[in-house]
Amino acid sequence: MASLGRLDRLWQRGREFLGTDYAIMGGAMSWVSERHLVAAISNSGGFGVIACGSMEPERLDEEIKATQALTAKPFGVNLITMHPKLDQLIDVCGANGVSHVVLAGGLPSAAAIKRAKDTGAKVVCFAPALVLAKKLVRSGVDALVIEGAEAGGHIGPVSTSVLAQEILPVMAEQLPIFVAGGIGRGEVIVSYLEMGAAGVQLGTRFVCANECVAHPNFKQAFIKAAARDAVPTTQVDPAFPVIPVRALANEGTKRFVEFQHQVISRYRAGELEHKDAQLEIEHYWAGALRRAVIDGDVEMGSVMAGQSVGLVTKVQPCAEIFSELLDQAQGALAARQGSS
Ligand SMILES: Cc1cc2nc3c(=O)[nH]c(=O)nc-3n(C[C@H](O)[C@H](O)[C@H](O)COP(=O)(O)O)c2cc1C
């Protein structure tokens, strides 16, 4: 255990920023990251984050209070910037004394960042490129998450390893940066910390926690899947853009390709306006994550998962996931000491 001190020192800034034992954030996952998983992650020494998703302000208020009843440890709330009631959601976080607000799903406005900071919360944003990271720092954010294309859910085009190389050497001294996307073991956590990251964010690895409320079918799909099964959504025609989401290939993803072809043929035949065709394509996945996570329809629902799904092998308590990650991280550090 000699290397625990070394690990503590490596992610000290992240631990201080989050107020946790370990600088590991449980990335917010819509429908998945509710009170039980969030509290379990925080109670295990990490930093749980509630996924607000499309919740109304009253629902978020209830979820924050319920999470506070399950843990006295710090946790955050992830808000989607295009939510029509973003300001009210920020105010709900403020009224409940939420310590960290994560603004996701597009670049937040300076006004939204200020409103969240004015509640007294620390504000965390996603930086998908170096120029945007710099812009966010100028807008006053307190920390950044850089999330690569290996991640589950909505993704950008650049891999985690390249984003880390582009952003960490330039920005890591200015503010805490958490690396996300494709992280499933402790060795790689150490590598990113050594490059200057303050900590990491994992989503996929926490889905099969005992405490996670996802349907057993959803968890089984994760256990069965290999890394190559977690693929970005296919777009058949650039004239009809599709938001890239990484999810397990299933009947729903197969039919989505056929569906796009049908809609585009109807457009070409003059049966549909361009904007209506685009809307039909966008609506295909409406409610699909909920169908998979809550109802267990893993054939037609959206089984959002990152490539690290290949490293998920069983349902296990959250605390055990943390102890595996820590053992692997400490093992990596001990090996470095041994070889130096
Ligand atoms: C099922 C699922 C749902 C997600 N929903 C959200 C979300 O609502 N908001 C968000 O900012 N990120 C969301 N993410 C991304 C995670 O917060 C996290 O950044 C990502 O999972 C990290 O990459 P990993 O999956 O490789 O660990 C989601 C990811 C998954 C797998």
pLDDT for residue 137: 96
Distance, in Å, from the CA atom of 223 to the CA atom of 219, rounded to the nearest integer, reads 6
Distance, in Å, from the CA atom of 72 to the CA atom of 98, rounded to the nearest integer, reads 12
Contact 133, 114 (CB under 8 A): no
75 Cα: distance to centroid of ligand 1 (angstroms): 16
Please give the DSSP secondary-structure letter assigned to residue 321: H
Distance, in Å, from the CA atom of 289 to the CA atom of 136, rounded to the nearest integer, reads 29
Q: Is the CB of 188 under 6 A from ligand 1?
A: no
- Residue 146 phi/psi, 5° resolution? -110, 120
Mean pLDDT of 107-118: 96
Q: Which residues does 42 contact at the CB level (< 8 Å), separation at least 6? A: 20, 48, 71, 73, 74, 75
Distance, in Å, from the CA atom of 105 to the CA atom of 161, rounded to the nearest integer, reads 21
pLDDT for residue 2: 46
Q: Which residues does 143 contact at the CB level (< 8 Å), separation at least 6? A: 17, 122, 123, 124, 175, 176, 177, 178, 198
Distance, in Å, from the CA atom of 324 to the CA atom of 262, rounded to the nearest integer, reads 47
Distance, in Å, from the CA atom of 47 to the CA atom of 38, rounded to the nearest integer, reads 8
Q: pLDDT tens digits, residue range 313-327?
A: 999 999 999 999 999
Taking the CA of residue 202 as reference, the ligand 1 atom at the shortest distance is 27
Instruction: Label residue 5 by pLDDT band (50, 70, 90).
Output: confident
| Residue extent(s) of CATH 3.20.20.70 domains in the chain | 3-212+315-334
Q: What is 3-212+315-334's CATH superfamily?
A: Aldolase class I (3.20.20.70)
16 Cα: distance to centroid of ligand 1 (angstroms): 23
pLDDT for residue 340: 59
pLDDT for residue 1: 44
Q: pLDDT tens digits, residue range 254-302?
A: 999 999 999 999 999 999 999 999 999 999 999 999 999 999 999 999 9
Distance, in Å, from the CA atom of 84 to the CA atom of 112, rounded to the nearest integer, reads 12
Q: Is the CB of 153 under 6 A from ligand 1?
A: yes
Mean pLDDT of 85-111: 97
Instruction: Label residue 337 by pLDDT band (50, 70, 90).
Output: confident
280 Cα: distance to centroid of ligand 1 (angstroms): 25
Q: pLDDT tens digits, residue range 203-232?
A: 999 999 999 999 999 999 999 999 999 999
- Residue 317 phi/psi, 5° resolution? -65, 150
Q: Is the CB of 25 under 6 A from ligand 1?
A: no
% of the chain beyond a pLDDT of 90: 96
Taking the CA of residue 293 as reference, the ligand 1 atom at the shortest distance is 1
- Specify the pTM: 0.97
Mean pLDDT of the residues in the chain: 96
Does residue 338 carry a pLDDT above 90? Answer: no
Q: Is the CB of 208 under 6 A from ligand 1?
A: no
pLDDT for residue 37: 98
User: Mutate which of 204, 217, 222 to test ligand 1's pocket (most atoms within 8 Å of Cβ)?
Assistant: 204
Q: pLDDT tens digits, residue range 34-77?
A: 999 999 999 999 999 999 999 999 999 999 999 999 999 999 99
- What token pair was written down for 302? 């959206």
Q: Is the CB of 139 under 6 A from ligand 1?
A: no
Which residue's CA is the closest to the ligand 1 atom numbered 1?
Answer: 304
Count CA atoms closer than 13 A to 223's CA, side-chain side.
Answer: 12
